[in-house]
């Protein structure tokens, strides 16, 4: 939701950063790799009990994840491979945060909630990626980007709440699961409308 409706607000910063990194000689795919490794560092920081640093590094990773797409469009180097890297690395970074928190909180109730959270993310992303592959609609990305309640920014906000407020993991994980399921159902209904037309 925030990505769809708030992109115009942050796009000038993303665009200027993309211009700067292109002038430095970096390619979009190189920045994708950098964002990925920074995202993995965020998981390591979370595991070692540095939640604020972990969240800050996670958001830096997410920012660069937005910049790489802008770089690809500016340099006319958008590719299917870049899209595969981008989507795959996003999921690995998210999984890394869940694993780091699970290792720090191995209580059965928390682990069950993390399992349900992972399933809800898989459910939502399966619909998102399948509709993107089947839909002929265009978007500013290399495939149709289905809007929804939980997009990348909402995910980062919810992951941040999980990391910073670990004493309330049950609450925030339950909310996160509810948001993901709602988004998945929302996208499923939209997919039915798009693909039947």
CATH of 2-196, one of 1.10.287.110, 3.30.160.20, 1.20.120.1760, 2.60.120.620: 1.20.120.1760
Domain boundaries, the chain: 2-196
Q: Where are the beta strands (DSSP E) in the chain?
A: none
Q: Percentage of the chain surpassing pLDDT 70?
A: 91
Active site residue 3: no
**Predicted confidence (pLDDT) per residue in 50-89, tens digit:** 999 999 999 999 999 999 999 999 998 888 898 899 999 9
pTM reported for the whole predicted model: 0.88
Answer yes or no: are the C-beta atoms of 182 and 174 closer than 8 Å.
no
Three-state DSSP at 142 gives: coil
Three-state DSSP at 128 gives: helix
Candidate list 65, 68, 86, 90, residue with the active-site label = 90
Place of tokens 């995202």: 39
Q: Which tokens belong to 173?
A: 């994980």
């Amino acid at each position: 939701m925030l990505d769809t409706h708030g992109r115009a607000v942050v796009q000038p910063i993303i665009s200027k950063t993309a211009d700067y990194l292109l002038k430095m000689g970096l390619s979009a795919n190189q920045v994708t790799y950098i964002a990925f490794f920074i995202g993995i560092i965020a998981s390591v920081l979370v595991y070692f009990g540095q939640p604020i640093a972990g969240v800050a590094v996670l958001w830096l990773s997410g920012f660069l994840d937005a910049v790489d797409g802008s770089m690809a469009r500016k340099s006319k180097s958008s590719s299917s491979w870049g899209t595969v890297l981008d989507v795959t690395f996003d999921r690995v970074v998210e999984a890394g945060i869940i694993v780091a928190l699970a290792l720090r909180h191995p209580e059965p109730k928390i682990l069950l909630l993390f399992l349900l959270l992972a399933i809800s993310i898989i459910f939502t992303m399966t619909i998102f990626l399948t509709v993107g592959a089947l839909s002929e609609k265009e978007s500013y990305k290399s495939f149709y980007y289905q809007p929804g309640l939980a997009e990348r920014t909402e995910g980062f906000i919810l992951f941040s709440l999980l990391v910073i407020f670990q004493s309330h993991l049950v609450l925030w994980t339950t909310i996160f699961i509810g948001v993901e399921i709602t988004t998945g159902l929302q996208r499923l209904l939209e997919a039915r409308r798009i693909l039947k037309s």
